[in-house]
Structure 1
């Protein structure tokens, strides 16, 4: 009996030893950490930036020097460069904000005009140059955020600095009383602006944007100058 017990105990120890040796030979399984949630881009914050682009459209320079004449216009085009400031808040996919900008511009054109009142010529032919030297806007923005992409629509008020300078090349000279007293003038004019754009956040604070804006500048009488703007920019968000 004692011999049987010794055999059973010896067999048990041998089995335990074999199991431990087998477990020691198994490769160690690497520890797997919990998956990390993808970081969602946040568009909320105040921001400042610079922008630049190109504008083109049509302008009636005669409304700057007098509001008596019939509607006329010629094409203008040129570049612009300026600064941007804004604030926005994101709720889910929706981004709402306000943005303002002021750009120096060199959007200009020139042409030959024969001023008329109710279709009756005034006996003067002008070589007149027209120029937009500054463009400012104050707009609301509403957009949809797709992580670090933002697609938006925008609209609001516009303010445009326009000027005209004419030289008489036929007929009575500029400055003739009762015809055209002044051939040069400039003024800030109000208007409305609307457009679309997209913005890409390439770091948590920096983003690039591109946008199209359509502006109607209200003059005197029936004059409505039109300006199309394509521009890009870079913003820094606080």
Structure 2
């Protein structure tokens, strides 16, 4: 009897051990890893290139008659009457290229409002003979030494321009549509007409426009950084630069340094705008660009 009890106890213990071995083991739950959500927040820098189109409308020729008493033209040493003609043809068109830096802040990751600021500097290859100068006078006549003649409708060409603009847009995940506007500046190199003297005219104004920007996925073959840090954009800007108006109404200085205008005695406006002045430089830019956004998400 004692042996039977002992055998039953051993059998029960073995059965319990085998049953426990067959039960599933308790493993820790898997760690949840959230999928990163793209955000436009962060600093960025990049390059752009495009084309500028003349947006000005002033092309009416200006012709001015000048009498001998104004000391502008001379036949030998004898002052003579002459005619100054400004064709006013403009050529504010050509290649535009440069770089930009900026910062965006997105209020809600994924989709939402984005605000930012951007500064850019651009090289421009606009025509250096935007306003051509020519004059007709008696045969053999020349400008009196020391006289300066310049087109009251503006200096020629534009060497560079830049902007500092705010940006306001809405992000649809990796696609950002935005409007932009702010301060603009530029400088043009040209010659004072009829003199051969080079001069630069620094100008300030404003720029407005808009664009669309797209952040490349990490698996895109165009994403050479293999991160969510590369963005492509297409942008349009209208730029308006007010030129210096120090010589507003004047078109020449004679050899005594006196400014000559259409209100000067002996000067007649043959054709052209009555209120001669330096006009604004206006052009539109369409450009494409690439940015690197610091910080992947």
Please state whether the residue corresponding to 2:126 is helix, strand or coil. Answer: strand
2:204 & 2:41 partners in 1: Cα distance? Answer: 33
Identify the residue that residue 228 of structure 1 maps to in structure 2.
286
Distance in 1, matches of 2:4 and 2:122, equals: 101
Rate the CA distance shift 1:211–1:158 in 2: closer, same or farther, 3 A.
farther
| Aligned residue among 182, 189, 195 for 2:210 | 195
Query: Any gaps of 5 or more consecutive residues in structure 2?
Result: 65-85, 138-150, 219-225, 243-277
1:118 paired residue number = none
* Correspondent of 1:130 among 157, 162, 177: 157
Distance 1:129 1:191, change over 3 A: same
Q: Is the 8 A contact 2:92 2:283 kept in 1?
A: no
SS at the partner of 1:17? helix
Residue number in structure 1 paired with 2:11: 14
CA contact (8 A) 1:51 1:234 kept: no
Aligned CA distance change for structure 1 residues 110 and 61 (closer, same or farther; 3 Å): farther
- Cα RMSD for the two superposed structures: 4.5
Task: Name the counterpart of 1:97.
Answer: 115
Identify the residue that residue 178 of structure 1 maps to in structure 2. Answer: none
Is the 8 Å Cα contact of residues 175 and 214 (structure 2) preserved in structure 1? Answer: yes
Q: Using the alignment, how far apart are the partners of 1:90 and 1:70 within structure 2?
A: 53
SS at match of 2:21: helix
- Which residues of 2 match residues 210-229 of structure 1 at below 5 A? 210-219=233-242, 221=279, 224-229=282-287
User: Runs of at least 4 residues of structure 1 off by over 4 A?
Assistant: 5-13, 25-31, 59-63, 68-72, 110-115, 121-124, 181-185, 201-207, 218-223
Secondary structure class of the residue paired with 1:159: strand
Offset, 1:153: 0.5
Give the TM-score normalised by the residue count of structure 1: 0.63
Is 2:177 aligned against 1:152? yes
What is the rounded CA distance, in whole Å, between the counterparts of 2:281 and 2:50 in structure 1? 23
